[in-house]
């Protein structure tokens, strides 16, 4: 019988530094994986942490990791050629098909951009598959901005609103919370407008409310939840909310379901 | 087939079964109770019937036999991983009816919710059940209201009447062993509870909206978030991963899982400082609704089996059955405010 708890070793192929505390680790991986899914990444002695997939290549996956805990601190001591242990991918992830033909907006706060990067990247490369595509990406300050190169590349094919909570506005970056920029969305047919919202809980809550005020249908809004997860396979209980296990039923939820979840 | 046996007979049966199984049953551990000068009744390995505490309810459930408090999943060196060995023998669990129903709940989480759990399954596959007949409910029990007072899916049942033992065997392979050691063959029906002192009523219209009730605020101060209710509960299954390494060789160690409690600080902590349900009342609401609502929505039957151990063990004398009985008025309170 399959023992889901045994991790496999994966070589670090590349380390991309975004900020002092946020790096993307490109890891060797062959197999099916969707944007929004996650891996349990571990280092023996230090433990495991659920990390969402921020990019998918032919024989690799990108994991964008923020250095904020015991496991991630240690991961940052590892460089190209070293190995991390992985198990997964887990969770439902985003279904690209659901957004095709829509007027799509992706609203991401901070590292929340990681799990949706694959979706944005897909439609930035295939802009003809959506009616329109806007990314609203918010960060604390200019120093915290992730995926700068991607943002520059995406700007050529999709609408980008890059914003920081505090600082000065310039040619590429605006100032203000992501919610302040929602009224700038120009939808031709609000019935066909879809949104993906990922970020810290208060940001997600207020963004969803803002979108609903603009007339977005509840069923056209998706969110991705972050919770403590020790197993990734519906056993450990840490990610349970109401009758839902974020690790197996999520982390991506339609708003019609997500709005009922009470932590 | 049913059998009547004396003490010597049943011990010979135990002896025979011990070749293939380790026998786990409630035992009395003198002066080991939570309060001074009290005994602790919990599960342990037994060889003879005299060691089993058949008259009292165990303070802790049987679940440690399947989900050890701390369980090694695998050992690691720098490059290699070795899966921890399973015990060679199977296990014979002596359970009351409520606990046998609890086993069904453990199965739901570990075998049906997502991928099957490798470690649970390999123990579970080698488990046999002895149902301890239960004639009279203990003070805090409410099995009848939770529909867990009767069980049929046992391998062997065990009742004591006037110093003799009555067993009903439903696992054919054991019939020979039992027959050889019995005083006589007879029809045996395991006893079951038909009425409890403590009663609960779960409102039919219970929804998650009850989270908005003020009843939970009361537990902010009263509950001390010690988690004893979870650790004594036969249906609580949560765990946390833990890596340890050996002090004499820091490159070698093991990954374990340890039982976790949704009432204790840190249960929802995510890296970077985020956490959910900071107030103890919110945790009480979370636990209560899991036992009485969420699990049922997912699996079709209530999670709580009404064993009452959480009531017995709470150092703050919080009664879970009382909380359940307050859900009706809390539901009314919430619907009025809407």
How many other C-beta atoms are found inside a 10 Å radius of the C-beta of residue A25?
A: 26
The shortest CB-CB distance from B114 to any of A66, A234, A263 is to A234
Residues of chain B positioned with their CB less than 8 A from the CB of A42: 243, 255
Residue B95, min C-alpha distance to chain A (Å): 23
Residue B253: closest C-alpha in chain A: A45
Q: B4: which 2 tokens?
A: 């009547």
Subunit contact A69:B272, Cβ cutoff 8 A? yes
Q: Are B318 and B280 in contact (CB under 8 A)?
A: no
Residue A94, min C-alpha distance to chain B (Å): 19
- The ipTM of this complex is 0.92
Task: Identify the CATH number of the domain defined by range A96-258.
Answer: 3.40.50.80
What CA–CA distance (Å, rounded) separates A182 from A142? Answer: 20
What CA–CA distance (Å, rounded) separates B12 from B274? Answer: 57
The shortest CB-CB distance from B272 to any of A44, A66, A247 is to A66
Residue A131, min C-alpha distance to chain B (Å): 36
Residues of chain A positioned with their CB less than 8 A from the CB of B245: 44-45
What CA–CA distance (Å, rounded) separates B303 from B146? Answer: 9
Residue A92: closest C-alpha in chain B: B114
Subunit contact A48:B253, Cβ cutoff 8 A? no
B89-127 as b/e, with b when 16 or more CB fall inside 10 Å? ebbbbbbbbbbbbbbebbebbbeebbbbbbbbbebbebb
Residue B27, min C-alpha distance to chain A (Å): 29
Q: Are B103 and B154 in contact (CB under 8 A)?
A: no
Residue A2: closest C-alpha in chain B: B118
Same fold, A8-90 and A96-258: no
The shortest CB-CB distance from A248 to any of B114, B257, B268 is to B114
Q: A199: which 2 tokens?
A: 């970020």
SS3 string, chain A, reads CCCCCCCEEEEEEEEEECCCCEEEEEEECCCCCCCCCEEEEEECCCEEEEEEEEEECCCEEEEEEECCCHHHHHHCCCCCCCEEEEEEEECCCCCHHHHCCCEEEEEEEHHHHHHHHHHHHHHHHCHHHCCEEEEEEEECCHHHCCCHHHHHHHCCCCEEEEEECCCCCCCCEEECCHHHHHHHCCCCCHHHEEEEEECCHHHHHHHHHHHHHCCCCHHHEEEECCCCCCCCCCCCCCCEECCEEHHHHCCEEEHHHHCCCCC
Residue B125, min C-alpha distance to chain A (Å): 12
Q: In whole angstroms, how far apart are CA B284 and each of A7, A144, B102, B218, B328?
A: 35, 38, 20, 10, 16
Please say if the pLDDT value at position B338 is more than 80.
Answer: no
What pLDDT, on the 0 to 100 scale, is given for residue B249?
A: 82
Percent of chain B whose predicted confidence (pLDDT) is above 70: 100
Report residue B292's pLDDT band, with 50, 70 and 90 as the boundaries: very high
Asked if A47 reaches chain B (Cβ–Cβ under 8 Å), the answer is yes
What pLDDT, on the 0 to 100 scale, is given for residue A14?
A: 94
What pLDDT, on the 0 to 100 scale, is given for residue B302?
A: 96
Which residue ranges make up each domain of chain A? 8-90, 96-258
Asked if B117 reaches chain A (Cβ–Cβ under 8 Å), the answer is yes
For residue B4, the cross-strand partners are: B166, B184
| Mean pLDDT computed over B247-272 | 90
Report residue B204's pLDDT band, with 50, 70 and 90 as the boundaries: very high
Sites in chain A below the pLDDT cut of 70? none
Coil, strand or helix: which one is B298? helix
Mean of per-residue pLDDT scores for chain B: 94
Subunit contact B294:A243, Cβ cutoff 8 A? yes
Q: Are B178 and B13 in contact (CB under 8 A)?
A: yes
Subunit contact A227:B268, Cβ cutoff 8 A? yes
What pLDDT, on the 0 to 100 scale, is given for residue A170?
A: 86
Coil, strand or helix: which one is B160? strand
Question: Shortest CA distance to A229 belongs to which of B57, B21, B267?
Answer: B267
What CA–CA distance (Å, rounded) separates B68 from B62? Answer: 10
Please say if the pLDDT value at position B34 is more than 90.
Answer: no
Q: Are B178 and B20 in contact (CB under 8 A)?
A: no
Pick one of 3.40.720.10, 2.40.30.10, 3.90.1150.10, 3.40.50.150 as the CATH number of A8-90.
2.40.30.10
Residues of chain B positioned with their CB less than 8 A from the CB of A245: 113-114
Phi, psi of A41 (to 5 degrees): -100, 135
Q: A235: which 2 tokens?
A: 């056993």
Q: Report the predicted TM-score, pTM, of the whole model to 2 decimal places.
A: 0.93
Q: In whole angstroms, how far apart are CA B44 and each of A150, B24, B34, B132?
A: 60, 5, 17, 15
Question: Shortest CA distance to B199 belongs to which of B288, B286, B137?
Answer: B137
Residue A200, min C-alpha distance to chain B (Å): 9
Subunit contact B115:A234, Cβ cutoff 8 A? yes
Coil, strand or helix: which one is B214? helix
Q: Are B176 and B196 in contact (CB under 8 A)?
A: no
Mean of per-residue pLDDT scores for chain A: 94
Chain B, residues 34-93, CB within 8 A of chain A, namely 73-74, 76, 79, 81, 83
What CA–CA distance (Å, rounded) separates A93 from B146? Answer: 37
What pLDDT, on the 0 to 100 scale, is given for residue B337?
A: 80
Find the angle CA(B101)-CA(B107)-CA(B108) to the nearest 5 degrees.
95
First to last CA, chain B: 58
What CA–CA distance (Å, rounded) separates A201 from A203? Answer: 5
pLDDT tens-digit map of B73-94: 999 987 889 999 999 999 999 9
Please say if the pLDDT value at position B52 is more than 80.
Answer: yes
């Amino acid at each position: 019988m399959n023992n889901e708890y045994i991790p496999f070793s994966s070589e670090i192929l590349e380390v991309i530094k975004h900020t002092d505390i946020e790096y993307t680790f490109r890891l060797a991986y062959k197999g099916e994986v969707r944007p929004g899914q996650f891996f349990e990444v571990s280092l023996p002695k230090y433990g495991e942490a659920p990390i969402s997939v921020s990019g998918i290549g032919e024989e690799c996956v990108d994991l964008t990791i923020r250095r904020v805990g015991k496991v991630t601190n240690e991961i940052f001591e590892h460089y190209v050629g070293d190995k991390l242990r992985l198990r997964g991918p887990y969770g439902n992830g985003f279904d690209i098909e659901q957004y095709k033909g829509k007027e799509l907006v992706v609203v991401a706060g901070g590292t929340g951009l990681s799990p949706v990067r694959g979706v944005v990247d897909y439609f930035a490369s295939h802009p003809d598959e959506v009616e329109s595509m806007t990314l609203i990406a918010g960060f604390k300050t200019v120093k915290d901005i992730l995926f700068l190169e991607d943002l520059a590349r995406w700007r050529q094919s999709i609408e980008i609103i890059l914003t920081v909570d505090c600082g000065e506005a310039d040619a590429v970056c605006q100032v203000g919370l992501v919610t302040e920029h929602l009224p700038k969305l120009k939808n031709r047919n609000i019935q066909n407008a879809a949104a993906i919202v990922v970020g810290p809980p208060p940001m997600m809550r207020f963004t969803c409310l803002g979108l609903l005020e603009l007339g977005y249908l509840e069923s056209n809004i998706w969110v991705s939840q972050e919770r403590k997860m020790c197993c990734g396979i519906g056993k450990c209980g840490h990610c349970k909310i109401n009758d839902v296990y974020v690790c197996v039923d999520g982390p991506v939820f339609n708003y019609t379901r997500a709005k009922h979840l009470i932590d | 087939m049913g059998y009547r046996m004396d003490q010597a007979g049943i011990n010979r049966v135990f002896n025979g079964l011990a070749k293939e199984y380790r026998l786990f049953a409630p035992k009395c551990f003198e002066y080991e109770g939570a309060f001074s000068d009290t005994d602790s009744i919990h599960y342990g390995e037994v060889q003879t019937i005299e060691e089993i505490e058949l008259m009292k309810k165990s303070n802790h459930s049987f679940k440690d036999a399947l989900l050890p408090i701390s369980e090694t999943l695998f050992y690691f060196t720098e490059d290699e991983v070795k899966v921890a060995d399973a015990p060679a023998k199977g296990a014979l669990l002596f359970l009351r009816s409520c606990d046998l129903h609890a086993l069904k709940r453990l199965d739901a989480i570990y075998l049906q919710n997502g991928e099957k759990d490798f470690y649970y399954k390999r123990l579970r596959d080698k488990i046999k059940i002895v149902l301890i007949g239960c004639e009279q409910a203990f003070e805090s029990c409410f099995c009848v209201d939770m529909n867990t007072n009767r069980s049929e899916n046992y391998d062997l049942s065990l009742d004591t009447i006037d110093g003799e033992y009555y067993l009903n065997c439903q696992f054919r392979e054991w019939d020979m062993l039992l027959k050889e050691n019995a005083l006589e063959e007879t029809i045996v029906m395991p006893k079951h509870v038909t009425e409890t002192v403590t009663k609960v009523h779960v409102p039919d219209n219970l929804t998650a909206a009850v989270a908005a009730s003020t009843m939970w605020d009361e537990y902010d101060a009263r509950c001390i978030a010690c988690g004893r209710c979870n650790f004594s509960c036969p249906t609580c299954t949560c765990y946390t991963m833990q890596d340890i390494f050996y002090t004499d060789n820091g490159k070698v160690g093991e990954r374990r899982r340890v039982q976790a409690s949704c009432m204790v600080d840190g249960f929802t902590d995510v890296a970077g400082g985020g956490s959910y349900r900071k107030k103890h009342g919110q945790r009480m609401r979370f636990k209560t609704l899991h036992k009485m609502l969420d699990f049922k929505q997912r699996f079709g039957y209530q999670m709580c089996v009404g064993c009452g151990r959480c009531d017995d063990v709470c150092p703050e004398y919080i009664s879970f059955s009382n909380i359940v009985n307050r859900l009706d008025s809390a539901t009314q309170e919430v619907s009025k405010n809407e």
